[in-house]
């Protein structure tokens, strides 16, 4: 199964080379698409330099920062246009998503359309988070699941595999969420489109380099978005 891993970046210069080489050490044949929002720290220059040494590495440079959701949508559209991959994997650049789980994702994808790296099933969890963030994530997921009726335990997680045949059923221009709410909206619409889901337990590790992208605006969006999403 040909797979493209999409990694959105904004000021991830210190992490991007490490995550790319970790992925390639485990899955040498996988394609990697970095979607950079014109990072002030010139993350895109690091990726451009790596392209001379790493096969299957692509860069999509966007004009400005426009949110996680828009970065992923741009990546989805490029992979769909290229038409070579059978699935996409969504990953963070900050090393919080361990590439060692990737073979499990690909194995699960033999029988399912969507594979979710889940912190909230048996065997999953988080490490390195403050108490407030653990509570925010745990109960935020309960909240989202209750409102939109999703059978997935980790609605906000960003480590996911999606089959391209299912992704083609979605109107990628109809999304209106940007931050972590984008992950909720995406999973809801994939389920509505008939996707078969499987959760794979993962341990999510807090970033050790760089700054977290979470903000009050993203939290506020996460509170309001499920009510809007359930009307889609």
Tens of pLDDT along 97-152?
A: 999 999 999 999 999 999 999 999 999 998 887 887 777 788 788 888 888 888 89
Distance CA 58, CA 207 (A): 24
Give phi and psi for 20, each to the nearest 5. -65, -45
Q: Indicate the DSSP class of residue 12.
A: -
Which pLDDT score is estimated for 142? 82
CB 203, CB 125: distance < 8 Å: yes
Which pLDDT score is estimated for 146? 84
Q: Indicate the DSSP class of residue 127.
A: E
Give phi and psi for 69, each to the nearest 5. -60, -45
Query: Could you tell me the sign of the dihedral formed by the alpha carbons of 116, 119, 122, 127, in that order?
Result: positive
Other beta carbons within 10 angstroms of residue 17's beta carbon come to 17
- 3-17, 18-32, 133-147, 158-172: range with lowest mean pLDDT: 133-147
CATH of the domain spanning 3-229: 3.90.550.10
Nearest to 164 by CA among 20, 19, 31: 31
Domain ranges of the chain: 3-229
Which pLDDT score is estimated for 219? 55
Distance CA 31, CA 28 (A): 9
């Amino acid at each position: 199964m040909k797979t493209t891993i999409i990694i959105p970046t904004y000021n991830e210069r210190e992490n991007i080379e490490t995550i790319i080489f970790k992925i390639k050490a485990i899955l040498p044949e996988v394609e990697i698409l970095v979607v950079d929002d014109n990072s002030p720290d010139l993350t895109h220059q690091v990726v451009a330099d790596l392209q001379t040494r790493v096969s299957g590495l692509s860069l999509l440079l966007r004009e400005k920062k426009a949110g996680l959701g828009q970065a992923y949508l741009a990546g989805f559209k490029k992979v769909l246009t290229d038409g070579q991959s059978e699935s996409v994997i969504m990953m963070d650049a900050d090393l919080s998503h361990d590439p060692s789980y990737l073979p499990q994702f690909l194995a699960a994808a033999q029988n399912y359309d969507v594979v979710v790296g889940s912190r909230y099933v048996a065997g999953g969890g988080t490490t390195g988070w403050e108490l407030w963030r653990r509570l925010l994530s745990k109960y935020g997921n309960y909240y989202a699941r209750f409102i939109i009726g999703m059978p997935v335990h980790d609605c906000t997680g960003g480590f996911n595999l999606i089959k391209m045949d299912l992704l083609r059923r979605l109107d990628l221009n109809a999304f209106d969420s940007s931050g972590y709410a984008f992950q909720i909206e995406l999973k809801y619409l994939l389920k509505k489109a008939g996707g078969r889901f499987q959760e794979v337990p993962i341990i999510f590790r807090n970033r050790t380099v760089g700054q977290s992208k979470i903000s009050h605006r993203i939290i506020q969006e996460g509170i309001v978005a499920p009510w809007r999403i359930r009307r889609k």
